[in-house]
Amino acid sequence: MLSKLIVKFAFFLDGLDSYQKSKKFLFNLLQNPDYPYKRYLDILMIFLILTSVGILIYGVRNPLPEWMDIYDIYVVSIFFLTEYLLRFWVYNDFHKAIIKEYNQSEFLLKRFSLWVPIKTVLKGKLEYITSLTAIIDLLAILPAYRPLRILRIFVLFRVFKLLRYTKSIKQFVEVLADKKFELFTLLLLLLFIVMTAGIALYVFEDKQNENIGTLFDAFYWALVTISSVGYGDISPVTQQGRAVSMLIILSGIAMIAFVTSVIVSAFSEKLDELKENRVVDNINKQDDFIIICGYGQMTKVFLEQEQELGSAYIIIEKDKERVDMATKDGYNAIHEDASKHEVFNRFNIDYANITLLCLTNSDIENIYITLNAKSVSKNIRVIARATDASMEKKFKLAGVDHVLIPNKVTNMMLLISINQPVVYSGIHSILMGRDVAHIDELRVSERSRLIGKEVREINFKLYKILLIGIERGSHSEFIFNPKADRVIEEGDTLVMMGQKISVEYFKESSS
């Protein structure tokens, strides 16, 4: 009876749109690094952490004013607690597990047991609670409990929380984590030397050196010496003790050299990857950007012409030499194979408008990359280069939005130059977008001055512009040479020609 009710409730939750939406929103806010609003939460959390540590330091010497205390206990801690609980909540779903189990048992005609899904979900939740970041989060909340003064020191765990919100620290830890094995081996060796040397010194100098009272003192001396810090508060007095000292100093130098080289090599191995991650992170901050596959002559010329693009593009190239060449030429490039599925997942495909330019000189590759991108997200607009007009159909079938056939364009130009030599320069100017003959389009936005006006009311002649046509809506027919009484509506696109400055002036004054 109870389990039936719970299953019913699970289905009810699953169908509840607002519940799903809010949970998804919170998940994105807390966990999805590509979500545009996550940045604000991160900044807020960093602010809370820094102020709370600031209060801790201030409180060492000064009595804390009441508002600071209230801020520290209530505001900061409540934020942290809420965050902890929300993360706990969004980690996995009870209702989904219940529904899945219920459907399975219906299908297999076996008895439905509520325990199975609950156990799975609880296991997941436990996994969350015992994860390192969750433990740090929990410890960071503890200082709010004032009766125990010692808990104040846990404020420092709030500093560890920064790991979650700042990418560079996270990367640093990740790089070190990659050398876990080497560092762990060195640590064991260090422990071994410290222990042996400590015990040796204790045995040799216990009664003779007044500074060494316990074994702990000897270990302390060994560590201070091996790290080459050497406070000098404890020093050996016997010949044997000094011999141990000499050995431990030598091994200390070797040890430090080892640790340094391990860390340095870890970073140099990861340097390219870190740089590329930075490039990808930067591009993901943009709302609109272009991914260019392949760095060849075409990409080069395109980027040279496209100065206005700024940094809203990224080049993906699988040939390392070409990547280096692109970087040397001053372009943002990463070394990746665009035909791999996970490549496009690195980009902010859910929230950004992405245009993909497949400019490699192989049709097979361009089609494969297109299919790959479209399988990741249908929203990615693809412009691909084809070697021959006969390929166009295949490219369209693969989902390419615009097929670019360099040969076709140049051949057409060449034919015009022979067939209609006088207009060639004119057409060339138009196609190349020269200043004298600029064909451009203007989308009539909701606030445009043009809405509701008839074509004749707009003095295109005054602007020295030729109105060529209007496209109504995004996919409807193009109206060439519209009649004078045609009324301009919101969402129309006017296609016009004129000098670059007149077109720009018109666009500016009609918005």
Partner 1 sequence: MRKEAFLFGYGIQGVSLAKGLRREDFDLHIIEATEEPFSRAKKDGFVNVRLLDVTEDAKLERLDIGDDSYIICVMDDKHLNVFLTLSLRSLFPKTTIVAISDSVHTTEKLKMAGANRIIDLYQVSAAHVHNILQKPIATKLLGSFVSDSYAISFKEMLISPNSYLNGMMTDDVNFSECGVLLLGIIEEESSEKFVFISSGIEHQLHSGDTIICIGYNDDLERFAKGMKESK
Interface contacts to partner 1, rule CB under 8 A: 290, 297-298, 300-302, 304-306, 355, 357, 359, 383, 385, 387-389, 402, 404, 406-427, 429-433, 436-437, 439-441, 461, 464-466, 468-469, 471, 478, 480-481, 484, 493, 495, 497-499, 502
In 3D, which of 386, 295, 287, 285 has the Cα closest to residue 336? 295
Residue 206 CA to residue 212 CA, distance in Å, equals 6
Contacts of 8 (CB under 8 A, 6+ apart): none
Q: Which is nearer to partner 1, 36 or 469 (CB)?
A: 469
In this structure, what token pair is assigned to residue 130? 């015992």
At its nearest, how many Å lie between partner 1 and the CB of residue 351?
A: 20
- Give the DSSP letter of residue 131: S
Query: Do residues 356 and 398 lie in contact, with contact meaning Cβ atoms separated by under 8 Å?
Result: no
Q: Which is nearer to partner 1, 66 or 304 (CB)?
A: 304
In this structure, what token pair is assigned to residue 320? 């390392």
- The CA distances from residue 268 to 171, 176, 326, in Å, are 13, 12, 21
Contacts of 71 (CB under 8 A, 6+ apart): 51, 55
Number of Cβ within a 10 Å radius of residue 488: 22
Query: Do residues 93 and 117 lie in contact, with contact meaning Cβ atoms separated by under 8 Å?
Result: no
Query: Do residues 314 and 292 lie in contact, with contact meaning Cβ atoms separated by under 8 Å?
Result: yes
At its nearest, how many Å lie between partner 1 and the CB of residue 495?
A: 5
SS3 445: coil
At its nearest, how many Å lie between partner 1 and the CB of residue 345?
A: 24
In 3D, which of 474, 503, 472, 500 has the Cα closest to residue 488? 472
Q: Which is nearer to partner 1, 6 or 479 (CB)?
A: 479
In 3D, which of 133, 247, 234, 262 has the Cα closest to residue 193? 247
At its nearest, how many Å lie between partner 1 and the CB of residue 478?
A: 7
In this structure, what token pair is assigned to residue 171? 């990367």
At its nearest, how many Å lie between partner 1 and the CB of residue 414?
A: 6
At its nearest, how many Å lie between partner 1 and the CB of residue 366?
A: 13
Helix (H) or strand (E) holding 467: strand 465-471
Number of Cβ within a 10 Å radius of residue 462: 9
At its nearest, how many Å lie between partner 1 and the CB of residue 260?
A: 48
In this structure, what token pair is assigned to residue 247? 């050995």
Q: Which is nearer to partner 1, 61 or 475 (CB)?
A: 475
Residue 454 CA to residue 169 CA, distance in Å, equals 60
| CA 408 to centroid of chain Cα atoms | 39
SS3 236: coil
Q: Which is nearer to partner 1, 190 or 404 (CB)?
A: 404
At its nearest, how many Å lie between partner 1 and the CB of residue 328?
A: 18
Q: Which is nearer to partner 1, 38 or 381 (CB)?
A: 381
At its nearest, how many Å lie between partner 1 and the CB of residue 9?
A: 50
Q: Which is nearer to partner 1, 225 or 360 (CB)?
A: 360
At its nearest, how many Å lie between partner 1 and the CB of residue 66?
A: 59
Q: Which is nearer to partner 1, 24 or 402 (CB)?
A: 402
Q: Which is nearer to partner 1, 350 or 435 (CB)?
A: 435
Q: Which is nearer to partner 1, 98 or 369 (CB)?
A: 369
